Chain A
Amino acid sequence: MIQLKTLVNCIDNSGAAIVECVKVLRMKRAAKVGDRIIVVVQKQRNFGPESGPGGSVSISAANKVRRGDIRHAVVVRTKKKYQRPDGSVVGFDDNACVLINKSGEPIGTRLNGIVGSELRNHKWSKILSLAPMHL
């Protein structure tokens, strides 16, 4: 249940660590897995996950977004449990999202963390293929 002011983890390597939801798009309800939201980057990652430590030069290079940027994002995990058509119910321990550009392509190049397989229903197969695992 992602709504206005919710702080969401960002699990891609775009450079954002924690983002805040400012708008749930096309809905009057809280966002679920696969829903598109608008976020403000609140906290940056110190270094890109793949650049490793000691890459002070690559800090700015790895970070494609900066603190205060307004971006679109897709919710990929929610703490709120949701029910599948087969009756099983899935919930994660945190809320997470992936930053995308206006046309819907992910800004980062890799994801670190599991994502919900509801993304397929919402045609986010690109994010699904980037993810290391989906459930």
Chain B
Amino acid sequence: MPLLRPPTRALGHLKPSIRRHRAAKRHIRTLSTAPVPTSQLQPHVEGIPLSMRALYGKKTHKRIKAIPSPPSAHNICPTPLATITASQLSVLDPTGARTRLFAKTNPDAAKVGDVLLVRFRSGDPFAGVCLNIRRRGVDTAVLLRGNLTRVGVEMWVKVYSPNVEGVEVVQRRERRARRARLYYLRQPKHDIGSVENLVRQYNRRKAILGTADAKTASATAGKKKSKKNRKL
């Protein structure tokens, strides 16, 4: 019978095998398998290249060494800036007088609007109305405005500077200034002008009273002076 097959169906013998394959595929498609626990799973060795088969199942990676985190600086010094400021102030202002003079908590502290006199180690003293106090720890500075030879001069002075010998209150403002920065005193309308007379009076008074109680004297004298000025 095979001889009777027409020669045009030369590929006919493929058909049964294709049919078989299709049936198998159909079978696989509808196949349902029960889940196998992972412990029973065998290693799939066939998929691994021959060269790597020896390594299979062994732990090849090294344990990563865990480096303990460095000790926190916070435990050693919780407030480093405050500590540094304090240590610097202990050198620059051992008595704490200047800290007190510009402390916010001190009711007798120098305030804006007061006439301050700054004595320098090198050079002449400078006096002027305090326009602004910049409280920044060791960098605390005051802005003084004065008149020298009829020219307005403004000067920021670092309070804790080693060049500053002393800061004295020549005259206190009669009433508390209602602003933190008295920049309006730069306007000609509000300009106080020269404080030379006030400083001269203050120096004379200080010379009479003596240097020992000059600090307290300046406070009281300032008040007296201010009253006088008001009358004038």
Contact = CB atoms under 8 A, between A and B. Distances in A.
A113 B151 CA distance: 7
Contacts of B141: 87
B149 interface: yes
A135 interface: yes
B12 to A, nearest CB: 98
B157 interface: yes
B91 to A, nearest CB: 16
Query: Which of A77, A89, A93, A112 counts the most chain B CB atoms within 10 A?
Result: A93
A99 to B, nearest CB: 18
A56 B149 CA distance: 27
Given A86-B161, A87-B161, A77 B151 contact: yes
A50 interface: no
Interface in B62-116: none
B151 A88 contact: no
Contacts of A132: 149
Contact of B149 (A91, A112, A117): A112
B153 A86 contact: no
Contacts of A90: 153-156
B163 interface: yes
Interface string A40-58: 0000000000000000000
The secondary-structure label for the interface of chain B is: strand
Nearest to B126: A135
Interface string A116-128: 0100000000000
B195 to A, nearest CB: 15
Nearest to A93: B152
B149 A86 contact: no
B161 A135 contact: no
A77 B148 CA distance: 12
A56 B157 CA distance: 46
A83 to B, nearest CB: 8
B119 interface: no
Nearest to A91: B154
A114 interface: yes
A18 B105 CA distance: 49
Nearest to B155: A90
Contacts of B149: 112-114, 132-133
A88 B158 contact: yes
A96 B151 CA distance: 10
Contacts of B148: 114, 133, 135
Nearest to B162: A86
A81 interface: yes
Interface of B: 123-124, 126, 139, 141, 148-158, 161, 163, 186
18 contacts: A81-B156, A87-B158, A88-B155, A88-B157, A88-B161, A90-B153, A90-B155, A91-B154, A91-B155, A92-B153, A93-B152, A93-B154, A94-B152, A96-B151, A114-B153, A135-B124, A135-B126, A135-B155
Interface of A: 77, 81, 86-94, 96, 112-114, 117, 132-133, 135
